[in-house]
Chains A and B, each alone.
Chain A
Amino acid sequence: MSEVSSFQNPNPNPKISAYYQTRAAHHGVVTSDWLAQAHAAVGIGPDSDDFSTAAGAEPSSVGKGFSVIDEFNNWRKQPDLAEAVAAIRALASVIRSSNATTMMELEIELKKASDSLKSWDTTSISLTAGCDLFIRYVTRTSALEYEDFNSAKSRLIERAEKFGEISYKARRIIAMVSQEFIFDGCTILVHGFSRVVLEVLKTAAQNRKLFRVFCTEGRPDRTGLRFSNEMAKLDVPVKLLIDSAVAYSMDEVDMVFVGADGVVESGGVINMMGTYQIALVAHSMNKPVYVAAESYKFARLYPLDQKDMAPALLPIDFGVPIPSKVEVERSARDYTPPQYLTLLFTDLGVLTPSVVSDELIQLYL
């Protein structure tokens, strides 16, 4: 359970969650002080670059002149590419550029690369999970045992690419499987900005389904504003709610759609702050809560309560200066227990929360 321990270790850079920084950069946060935010993001940029080079320099054995972190950062810059997929691609290129001569050596190299990736950002669950799953998927093949090294290596690369492909396509698959759940005339509440959920709704709009979307504002990074923008572009009727208006408008809502940063072993999800309370409200009003998440976000974590995770912190802008004596809760995400979720739409199919653990057990043990 190395990922658990590393996850529960104090964050090496607790001030900022790199995962959320990436998201902020990708999602081009639309706020009134957009410029300031962008500046802040850029200001973070070199900082995290420093960090990444430092981390990249640390595992010196990872390929000559090849840094998995650099590779990862290259991939990461593509806004459409999820972090985990970027990591998967970076790891695949580790195999490709490796000049190990034995299987064991290659595996150790891969392990080191994934460890350095994971330690690059311990707050990102999908990154950790993606790396772990990649190694599992790639190295767990019986064909490796009775072939010579080169063919085994090419097989590894093959599997790695296949895994990258699967992960890349995951979003499309999810969009396809979730279409049946969106019916004409329904009202969907969306929290935060999730590329999967966007894909789902986009596909639904393309399929000429008639539905209405409620977007929460998604403080503090206001990702909901961006989502409502996207919806408006698709000509989907969309309404923007402030985060505190969820319960107020829940009676109009037919289903709640959220993405996930990570899906944990209990079947619950870790997602942007506010998901838990939306799920609670929806549960108490008997509205279904659907989570769209790619299977590479399945993580071997088991949070027992909200505080059972290393907090991913995020700077919060209140618009006015906060007195120094006032403490600010800056955690960026919360944990929604499985009993408040109805179904998970994943590239493995439509799952109930309890199946997550089933899949994880089969993958990891």
Chain B
Amino acid sequence: MESRRPPRTVSNPIVRQVGFIPHQPPDPNPPDPAAAAANPSFQAFSTSPPATSLSPVMIPPPFPGTSAPLRCPPAPAAIAVDTVTVGSYGQSESTLATSPATANRIGDPEFCEDSHGWLNSDSGTYGAVLSIPSFGFDMSGVNSTEESSPKAVVEVEEITLKEATTEVALDVKRDLANEEMQTDMQSSFKPLKEKTGKAESVLQVAQRAVKPAAKALVKKSAVGKVPADDKTGKVVKQSSQKKDVLPTTSSEVVSGKKGIDRSFERDKKKDVPPPRMQYDDKNRVEKAKKRSVMKQTEARNRVELFLHLPQYEHGNLLSGLESKFFHLDAMHPSVYKVGLQYLAGDITGDDNRCVAMLQAFKEAIKDYSTPPEKILSRDLTARISSYVSFLIECRPLSFSMGNAIRFLKRCIAKLPLSITESAAKDTLCSDIDRFVNEKIIIAGKVIVGHAASKVRDSDVLLTYGSSSIVEMILLYSHKLGKQFRVVVVDSHPKLEGQALLRRLVANGLSCTYTHINAISYIMHEVTRVFLGADSVLANGTVYSRIGTACVAMVAHAFQVPVLVCCEAYKFHERIQLDSICSNELGDPEAISKVSGRRDINYLDNSTNKENLQLLHLLYDITPSEYVSVIVTDYGMVPPTSVPVIVREYGKEQLFL
């Protein structure tokens, strides 16, 4: 009986619970651990929410889960969970830890991309669960080391022999791990011989890859920062890769509801790109670092609330990557190129990034040939996964890219087994083309048509930043002969609006240019606000470039309609309530400097000071009540209808 969009109150009751619930502590430390352990299912639920199969719509547990200091102290939690470990999934631990299958949690849709939401929001608990591992897992680590020792030994020898191989070997090994995981999900105890054989062959490949570049040996080892005495680290890494995924795996075992079609579920899980990592979790970050192709240096002095997001120091990285260009066997050059472009910021804008990624994948698929004794659909999926994880290292994926990757993987999975390789490749390439064409290009045109119908003569249209779709709308409306004026609002440090302004002025539109600081001043003369979006989430929340929320709120306060233009392929079924749990951090240098103003150098030498934290957020979310309409390729819909479109067309979109 309440009105549909009650005015947004500052404090949401759920949020308000955080950290202050005397009668019901956020970390329920069971009074009687033994009794609790006797009832493992309850225990698992109460102490480690992520261990139960959470659905993305569940309200995140009342943990702040964003910063290490806030995280519940490990002592009670660890004990509690330890008992659980014994009671509930201690049994499965050792097997799982050694099973190669478990390492492939990358594709778990609950775990990943699909659900960064809860994953991020409950990192506190997650962290708590993961922080025990140091003891609990050391055991399993030993186990697994024993298990895979032949392989590891082989590697270690190789490494000592040829330092330079290490990196390549690493990559290939990662690849191999992926393949392994996918091919033999169930058979956790694969004969060791086979494994060893595989490892050897991989190393041979790696060596071959290295040979041509033998000259660059010294340089590379310097770049790679893989010290020779890192062998032990490698061995541990082997196991650690596996163990860092243990909690979720075991949760699956615990939940056990999947039953027979688990293998099918797993297949489905592979469709999804890897999870967004919680970067405040030291263990995992370490592991990920060892895995990664790029050696990024983490920025110091990160803002506490955003420790879970990756933040690197930019700059010296590119040269290192470029030098590796010819040695990365696993990475297709076109993918590599796109990754570098992301990293360097040459490709920005959501659509551009998505299209560039798909084109790179297309190239990669064209050049792909199935290795002997492999199945195309499985091997290619693994290949794509490795590409994706590389791209994530360059820059976190956007929602639309996640959707596009899901689409591609569905396409691969959908291929009939009997299809020949060249036919399969053709099908996939045409699928990609179709996706780009239908979901991005044509959808854009449809949106332009819809949105232009809302532009009247003598309107004053305001736009923020530089959105390609909004630019198309403005130009199209101008072409239709409508008389209107444009206000381009811009913000530091990107100043993308200037590029947009230049193109608009060149096309003869009358424009006003201002910075976001003047938004409340300029808003009273505006009649429509057109905004682009990175994604629209299932609760109607608009995830977009930082500053968008501010513009939308000011427009709302001035009773100016806000039109958000967004293709339906960018819709996402998750829900996000704040812009903290999932966001992207930009280069902190960018906000400490003002380009072209040498006299503003107050922060020049103080960026590394301990008591200075620079926060350069790239995205924010706009609550749905500030959005009047979402213009999408299915027409103009209210923000409340986004879940309807996701529901009705999500499947069709993915299967196309």
Contact = CB atoms under 8 A, between A and B. Distances in A.
Interface of A: 1, 4-5, 8, 265-267, 283, 288, 300, 302, 304-305, 308, 338-343, 352-354, 357-358, 361-362, 364-365
A354 B635 contact: no
Contact of B628 (A1, A304, A342): A304
Interface residues of B, number: 27
B638 A354 contact: yes
21 contacts: A4-B453, A265-B636, A265-B637, A266-B628, A267-B638, A283-B3, A302-B636, A304-B629, A338-B4, A338-B638, A341-B4, A342-B2, A354-B4, A354-B641, A357-B638, A357-B640, A357-B644, A358-B644, A361-B634, A361-B644, A365-B649
Given A8-B453, A357-B640, A361-B641, A300 B635 contact: yes
Nearest to B636: A302
B573 to A, nearest CB: 16
A266 B453 CA distance: 16
A358 B1 contact: no
Residue of A8, A339, A342, A361 with highest tally of chain B CB at under 10 A: A361
Given A305-B561, A365-B634, A358 B4 contact: no
Residue of A267, A304, A340 with highest tally of chain B CB at under 10 A: A304
B431 to A, nearest CB: 23
B635 A266 contact: no
B5 interface: yes
Contacts of A4: 453
B406 interface: no
Interface string B604-638: 00000000000000000000010011000011111
Contact of B4 (A304, A308, A353): A353
Nearest to A283: B3
Nearest to B454: A304
B645 interface: yes
Nearest to B563: A304
Residue of B4, B454, B561 with highest tally of chain A CB at under 10 A: B4
B173 interface: no
A339 B4 contact: yes
B528 to A, nearest CB: 7
Nearest to A362: B648
B450 interface: yes
Contacts of A288: 1
B563 A266 contact: no
A137 to B, nearest CB: 18
B453 A361 contact: no
The 7 A-B pairs with the shortest beta carbon distances in the complex, nearest first, are: A354-B640, A304-B561, A357-B641, A302-B636, A358-B644, A339-B5, A266-B638
Nearest to A288: B1
Residue of A338, A353, A354 with highest tally of chain B CB at under 10 A: A354
A364 B644 CA distance: 13
Given A288-B1, A304-B528, A339-B3, 20 more contacts: A8-B453, A265-B635, A265-B637, A267-B4, A302-B635, A304-B454, A308-B454, A342-B2, A343-B1, A354-B4, A354-B640, A357-B637, A357-B638, A357-B640, A357-B644, A358-B644, A361-B634, A361-B635, A361-B644, A365-B635
Given A354-B640, A357-B637, A266 B629 contact: yes
Contacts of A339: 3-5, 625
A340 B3 contact: yes
Given A308-B454, A339-B5, A361-B641, A1 B563 contact: no
Contacts of B629: 266, 302, 304
Contacts of B563: 304
Residue of A8, A300, A357 with highest tally of chain B CB at under 10 A: A357
A257 B3 CA distance: 15
Contacts of A353: 4
A352 B636 contact: no
Nearest to A359: B644
Interface in B135-170: none
Contacts of A343: 1
Contacts of A342: 1-3
Interface string B557-590: 0010101000000000000000000000000000
Interface in B484-533: 528
Given A1-B450, A8-B453, A302-B629, A361 B637 contact: yes
Nearest to B631: A302
Contact of B648 (A1, A267, A361): A361
Contacts of B1: 288, 342-343
Contacts of A362: 644, 648
A343 to B, nearest CB: 7
A4 to B, nearest CB: 6
A8 B4 CA distance: 27
A265 B636 CA distance: 8
Contacts of B645: 361
Nearest to A304: B561
Contacts of A364: 635
Nearest to B449: A1
B561 to A, nearest CB: 4
Contacts of B5: 338-339
Given A1-B453, A304-B629, A357-B641, A365 B648 contact: yes
B439 to A, nearest CB: 15
A338 B625 CA distance: 11
Nearest to B527: A305
A308 B2 CA distance: 27
A358 B636 contact: no
A358 B641 contact: yes
A349 to B, nearest CB: 15
Nearest to A358: B644
B607 to A, nearest CB: 45
Nearest to A342: B1
